[in-house]
Structures are given as C-alpha cells and as structure tokens.
Amino acid sequence: MSHTVYLEFGLESHALVILFGAMQVYVPLPKAEGPAIIGYLDPITGKESFTEIERLNMAPVPQSLTEAEIQIHLSYIMRMLSLEAIERGAKRAPDLSLLSV
C-alpha cells in the first residue's frame, strides 16, 4: 500500500498526507518559503520519489468538526478501506462499523 504527501510552503504552510490511499491527515507547518512538493512511496519497489509541482493553494482545514461531519468522514474512510481491500484481492469486504464518535 502506498503513501502520498503534498507539501505547500508559504505564509500558511501545510501538508496533506494520504495513508493507504484512504486516510487523509492534514498537518499545519510553520511559515516557510519554497516550492510545492509531492512525495510518493511505491508499494511494489519501496522506492520514494519527490517532485516539485505547481502550488494547489490549498485552504487550511477547519479547526473543528461537528459530530455529523466526523461521522461522514469516518464512514468515507471505512468505505475506501473496504474498496481497497476488494481491489487487492479480498474475497469479501471487511466488516467495518463505527460504534461511536
């Protein structure tokens, strides 16, 4: 399973890390100058690559989410993990459920 990271530098520097193609983690970073960078871990070779790209001008994420927004996000993550399991050869989707937030 691969990991991807997008780093954007400026007055509001931040990164977005995507783990296993499903879980997204937002990381605020200190103010810094530099290009936008995308990094990728190839799951087959284990090789990492980093490339400068055009800035996406990503907006910062909200500092808080409502319970309903959290439930929607966690449901999305579970759905993506299930789809990835099937795509990678699972005979059936994993039995994932959200008991509480």
Q: What is the pLDDT of residues 27-48, one digit of tens each?
A: 889 999 999 999 998 877 888 9
Residues of the chain with pLDDT > 70: what percent? 96
Tell me how long the chain is. 101
pLDDT band at 84 (very low <50, low <70, confident <90, very high): confident
Asked whether the predicted pLDDT for residue 1 surpasses 70, the reply is no
The C-alpha atoms of residue 49 and residue 42 are separated, in whole angstroms, by: 8
What is the residue-averaged pLDDT of the chain? 84
Sketch the domain layout of the chain as residue ranges.
1-57, 62-101
Question: Is the CB of residue 53 less than 8 Å from the CB of residue 38?
Answer: yes
Identify which has the larger pLDDT, 19 or 10: 10
Q: What is the pLDDT of residue 88?
A: 75
Identify the bridge partners of residue 6 per DSSP, sorted by sequence position: 16, 38
Q: Is this structure's pTM higher than 0.75?
A: no
Identify which has the larger pLDDT, 21 or 6: 6
Q: For the CA atoms of 79, 80, 84, 85, what is the dihedral angle to 10 degrees?
A: -30
* Helix (H) or strand (E) segment spanning residue 2: none
